[in-house]
Amino acid sequence: MIDIKLIRENKDLVKENIKKKFQEEKLALVDEIYELDKKYRDAKMNGDNLRNEKNKLSNSIGQLMKDKKQEEANDVKLKVKEMQEEIEKLTITESELEKVIKEKMMIIPNIIDSSVPIGKDDNENVEIEKFGEPIVPSYEIPYHADILESINGLDKDASGRTSGNGFYYLMGDAARLTSAMLSYARDFMIEKGFTYCIPPFMIRSDVVNGVMSFAEMDAMMYKIEGEDLYLIGTSEHSMIGKFKDQIVKEDKLPICMTSYSPCFRKEVGAHGIEERGIYRVHQFEKQEMIVLCKPEEAMEWYNKMWSFTVELFRSLDIPVRTLECCSGDLADLKVKSCDVEAWSPRQQKYFEVGSCSTLGDAQARRLGIRTKGENGTYYVHTLNNTVLASTRALIAFLENNYNEDGSINIPVALRPYMGGKEIIK
């Protein structure tokens, strides 16, 4: 949610930003909010003026009674009563307008960074840099589900019986490999100075509304029937929610945390759920990182965070590239975002394995996360980034470490987490 001062003082900037995100249907909202805000401020000003006048009149009643001016005192009392009734009406109007304005403000997209490329959708995202040589071996790389089945590591028939499409059983070395990568990712981030955390896996609706847009929530999150609770789609949601309505000490910034969680997603949309494999599923595990910092430090942390993910994947012998998300591909709360994509030697193209975003003060403004320093109280900036998402990381690992004889190499960095094993046969 942007600061309403932007609409009060620079409507054209807000409208131009909406156009850059190709959301012209929201342009009329800016003028609506502007007019509603004028009415809100008028109601507030009139209410404040009446309160001041009422207080002065109320204070005069005692003196009038003391001077035995009973009739005059009664007239003032009647006037005070009428003013109080008008104040109550204005207070109701003020409250109603404030609620409507907030609801409409939640729909206005955040102001994107000037460096974000302009484009309608993910087809117009821009490659930034490649890390590692994208090798295509002379032998065929099987589909990842076939690799997993060859080591007795995947059972989707059983998960279909217990849970339906979009779920899976991982077993044996495949399950151990997944846990090993997550544990390695955890320790990797701890070494970078991040505090490890296991958060709640369910959050209330006010936290959900604080961290994401309504459209995202509807497409992603599972609601617990009969409860004001949602299963998290990523631990970023509960990690940022941890600081809801808090004033963080400025000398404690930046706050850098890395969290483990299972993630649950509807995956509603044209892409659908993958039938055979585990690329797009309803449930997976993830190591995440979040940062709360001063506004002037946000872009520095943004660049650090995506580079950590690149470093981790390269240590697992997986070539990656970074891709700048264009304006139309940015979620409404994001200021700037890039994807980290892993090389698929089977498909001979890259696919997304993580995403890094800076959201300005949008989440902090929605959740009331502030800090207090020499220059007063202000909203912190929040950032998040995927360290490692279990299923997609597993696919990238299998394809890039697969040998012609069907065995799978285990990189040096991962061997301590696999009991010293160097190869899976």
Is residue 377 located within the same domain as residue 327? yes
Establish if 117 belongs to a structural domain. Answer: no
As a whole number of angstroms, the distance between CA 200 and CA 255 comes to 19
Percent of the chain with pLDDT over 90: 84
- Are 230 and 224 spatial neighbours (Cβ–Cβ below 8 Å)? yes
How far is residue 222 from each of residues 44, 113, 233, 286, 392, measured CA to CA in Å? 39, 31, 8, 17, 21
CA angle 154, 156, 160 (to 5 degrees): 155
Q: What pTM does this model have? A: 0.89
Residue 73 and residue 160 in one domain = no
Range of the domain at 326: 122-424
Per-residue pLDDT, 272? 62
Q: Is the peptide bond before 416 cis (omega within 30 degrees of 0)?
A: no
What is the chain's mean pLDDT, rounded? 93
Residues 45 and 132 in one domain: no
Tens-place pLDDT, residues 186-210: 999 999 999 999 999 999 999 999 9
Per-residue model confidence as pLDDT tens digits over 251-296: 999 999 999 999 999 976 556 666 789 999 999 999 999 999 999 9
Looking at the structure, do residues 18 and 147 belong to the same domain, yes or no? no
CA distance 226 to 264: 18
Which domain CATH number covers 26? 1.10.287.40
Q: Do 89 and 155 sit in the same domain of this protein?
A: no
The total domain count for the chain is 2
245 and 367 belong to one structural domain? yes
Q: Is residue 112 part of a domain?
A: no
pLDDT score at 84: 87
